[in-house]
Amino acid sequence: MTEEFEQTIPEVLTEPDHEPEAPVTGKVRLEAAWGSTEGDEDLSVTENTAPRNEGHVFKQQYKPWNGQLNPRWMRNWAILRHHLLGIFKKGHRPWGVPIRLFLLVVFVASLTDVAMVIVSGLIGDSGLHSVWGVSRDNLYGHVLGFLPRNMLYYPVVAALLVGGVISEDRQHGTSAMYFSRPITRFDYVSMKFISVAVIQALIILVTLGLYYFAEIVSMGRGWAWILDTFPMFLATVISGVLLIFTYTSIGLALSSVSKGKFFPGIALLSIVLGTKVLAFIVSNLFDREILYLLSPYDCLAHVGQAIIGTQPTYDQYSWTWSLASLAAMNALALFTLSSRVSSMEVTRE
């Protein structure tokens, strides 16, 4: 049987165009998959006697931090200076260059009264001083005057400041950095509110104080004049604080419901200036001043006229209605602000 299997096949069928191949025999060569003639015999394994840098298994155990936290005022001050110092130098909140330039222009423009008082004192012109000097009407106009202060200056400043104070935290998830630390939401809102209010106060109240001080220095006023005019100056400061508080509360409420800079600023300008223009048109056409109660500017102007003691320009209703309307506006804005901030999560929304 074996001899028959090993017999050589005598003939190979080949085609005429090809060379004849090697004869096919019945022998079959079986080779292992890893044969000994494939170069494996040249491989050798040598032990490396050099010491190996083997890893170590550490025991992972959570240990709570028992250190002392910074006091509450220091954490709040960190938020406050983050916004305030960003106006003057880098390393804090990145206020844009156009915003800084506009704030500088408004601050310088608000000092026009100071410059004219100094000029009138230097040249001794009583007529020029009667126009620019400290009086009830001029103190009222320095803070609550419509053109240009409450039309081009202060509402625009408030709109630029509140644009991204809270909305950017909602958009970029910065709230996670705040609320992952021992910072309450009340402190968060308070420091944001105070930051915007202080920047506005630097423009409104500081220039008002310089205006009053320039009158004393340039005209050589004595204690009798100071005692007579200081109540008017204090009433003007109260009116300015009320204006700053109202613009800030409305602006931050709009910022808390948005996720961008554009909407809060435009909405604040629309509320302040739009309601003013609408109420003015209705008053001239129909002789009705009821819509002035919906205008923050007119309510502030009416209350300011009553506090400072200037001639009122609203005759159909009492200033107490304007005060009540201001209280309702601020209450609604603060409620919206608090409810929106309380819903902010520690993750990006």
Q: pLDDT of the chain along its 349 residues, tens only?
A: 444 444 444 444 444 455 555 555 554 554 544 454 544 445 455 555 555 666 666 677 767 767 787 899 999 999 999 999 999 888 888 899 999 999 999 999 999 999 999 999 999 888 898 899 999 999 999 999 998 999 999 999 999 999 889 988 887 878 778 887 788 899 999 999 999 999 999 999 999 999 999 999 999 999 999 999 999 999 999 999 999 999 999 999 999 998 888 999 999 999 999 999 999 999 999 999 999 999 999 999 999 999 999 999 998 999 999 999 999 999 999 999 999 998 886 544 4
Alpha carbons 299 and 130: distance in angstroms, whole number = 28
Residue 50 lies in a domain: no
Q: Which helix (H) or strand (E) holds 208?
A: helix 185-219
Residue 287 lies in a domain: yes
The tokens describing 335, both together, are 């409620």
Residue 348 lies in a domain: no
Contact (CB, 8 A) for 201 and 228: no
Count up the domains in the chain and report the number: 1
Contact (CB, 8 A) for 243 and 154: yes
Contact (CB, 8 A) for 283 and 291: yes
Alpha carbons 97 and 103: distance in angstroms, whole number = 10
Q: What is the pTM of this model?
A: 0.79
Residue 64 lies in a domain: no
70 φψ region: left (φ > 0), alpha (ψ -120 to 50), beta (else): beta
Residue 59 lies in a domain: no
Phi then psi dihedrals of residue 287, to 5 deg: 55, 45
Q: Measuring CA to CA, which residue among 118, 204, 200 is closest to residue 161? A: 200
Residue 26 lies in a domain: no
| Residue range(s) defining the domain that contains residue 167 | 72-342
Residue 347 lies in a domain: no
Residue 36 lies in a domain: no
Contact (CB, 8 A) for 199 and 161: yes
